Amino acid sequence: MTRLLAARGGSQDVAKPEAGPMRNNFTEDSAQGSRRVVHRRHSDGIMEMGRMSFSHVPKQDGNTYMGTTQRSCITGEIFVASRYNWPSFDLADLFTREHIHGYLRQFLEDNYLFFPVPMPYRTWIYHEAFLDNKVSSINGNPEHAMVQDVLGTRCIDVDVAAGRWSPIMCYAPMVLILCLTGDMVGVGVGIVLVLFLWFMSVNMNTPVLYCYLRIATLPMRLAFGGILGLQWASYSAFAQFFAAMVLLGILLDLIRGDLQELLCFRMNCSYEIVKALPERVFICRRHGASHLEHRFGWRGRVAESITGLGAWNKDFYLIADINGMLAELRPVRMEDMLGIHAEQCEQPRILSFMGLKSFSFNCPTSGCLDVTTQAELTEVCKKFKQSLPPDSLLHGEEPDRCMGPDSSTSDFWSEAAQPKVQSPIGAAPAMVIETDF
């Protein structure tokens, strides 16, 4: 998704696109490698014995980041330009709680925990509509009219380049190389082309026009290649070498840019809001891009207690508006939890989650949203509490019963727990170290 919505906020006032803007802690980074892979035969034991603690991130206003995303007209990446840091978090929680402590197995059994996957281009379209004071014409709930309009816009939400970068990235260095040929006509045409590409890249950097940039500039780019072809016979052997490099650059731009844009066109999709949950969480149905699961894998199944739907089809999505940022919520997977646990063993850090608070013990399931009397609501809540497994994370055990020291205190995070040292009675200290494992 274009190295995006960094849940890991930077220390600078304006985040740089190359710093991985709009990216969450759990997101794989090609520069640093993917999460550590745990062998299958060891995973069952780790799921039963491995424990982790997550703390709630500080609460922020719901519109804190509205209008803060921008799209680079050159690289096509979406980044956050805000004096506020995007809170660093690993999980999103639909239930109302301040701390989560437990074994890895318990995290997988909790239906309210999700991995937030940012939707950068759709968030950028969302913010541009907000800045333009665009009023949605879609009939429905006026509270969600703008989100409904943005989700109904067709764009690519998966993490592919799709040729959305400007051709000037190739043509600017090619003009410099062309200067070595001594062809003043070709260099002059190249400079005009670069200025034209810059003008078009800046002025077409809007939610409506950005996807037409390559089509609009294709005739000029092909004409530039044709001029070089006509000048080829007049070049010396030395000049032909550099002219060939320029022609290869033009071919590379057509393959990596225009051809990729054409091949990725089928990934464009839109969403229809099927049901709105509390705190701006939406159950949506995708229209278009029907092959995404075959290429990018299964996204998981959301529990019926949350959706109220008997079946969770492959084109269903759970999308949340997190402080003005749109993100898809995917159920936690064993591979991801094992990866986080492995990272914690190697380089411990504070784990955190974003509390969306769509549900609570007073409204634990989507069925509570349809009740009409207090008696019905009380009965639904009673049945929910009775159906909870004995070791559910929702029981709210005290931290000292589940995790040892209270993770909410600053001492727990600032200093690692010290190992216990025992010495046999009547013998010299033997440095026998006992750990929780």
pLDDT of residue 36: 45
- Ramachandran sector of residue 312 (left: φ over 0; alpha: ψ -120 to 50; beta: rest): beta
pLDDT of residue 135: 65
SS3 277: strand
For 71, counting Cβ atoms within 10 Å of its Cβ (0-12 exposed, 13-18 middle, 19+ buried), the class is buried
- Ramachandran sector of residue 137 (left: φ over 0; alpha: ψ -120 to 50; beta: rest): alpha
pLDDT of residue 343: 87
Structure tokens at 433: 């170290």
| C-alpha to C-alpha distance for 309 and 365, rounded to whole angstroms | 12
pLDDT of residue 85: 64
pLDDT of residue 139: 59
pLDDT of residue 10: 36
Pair 46, 343: CB distance under 8 Å: no
CA dist list (Å): 126 to 15, 66, 213, 330: 19, 8, 20, 21
| C-alpha to C-alpha distance for 217 and 171, rounded to whole angstroms | 12
Q: How many residues are recorded in the chain?
A: 437
Contacts of 364 (CB under 8 A, 6+ apart): 95, 305, 380, 381, 384, 385
Q: pLDDT tens track of the chain, all 437 residues?
A: 333 344 433 333 333 333 344 444 433 443 334 444 444 455 666 777 778 889 888 877 777 788 889 999 999 999 888 776 666 788 999 999 988 988 888 898 899 999 999 999 999 999 999 888 776 655 556 778 889 999 999 999 988 888 899 999 999 999 999 999 888 988 999 999 999 999 999 999 999 999 999 999 999 999 999 999 888 888 889 999 999 999 999 999 999 999 999 999 999 999 999 999 999 999 999 999 888 888 888 888 999 989 988 889 999 999 999 988 999 999 998 888 888 888 888 888 888 899 999 999 889 998 888 888 888 888 888 888 888 888 888 876 433 333 333 333 333 333 333 333 343 444 443 333 333 43
Q: Residue 365 is which amino acid?
A: T
pLDDT of residue 422: 41
pLDDT of residue 141: 63
| C-alpha to C-alpha distance for 235 and 99, rounded to whole angstroms | 71
Work out the angle at residue 325's Cα, subtended by the Cα atoms of residues 323 and 262, and round it to the nearest 5 degrees.
175
- Ramachandran sector of residue 357 (left: φ over 0; alpha: ψ -120 to 50; beta: rest): left
SS3 308: coil
- Count of CB atoms situated within 10 Å of the CB of 81: 13
DSSP β-ladder status, 316-322 and 325-331 = antiparallel
SS3 63: coil
List, in sequence order, the alpha helices (H) in 357-409: 374-387, 399-402
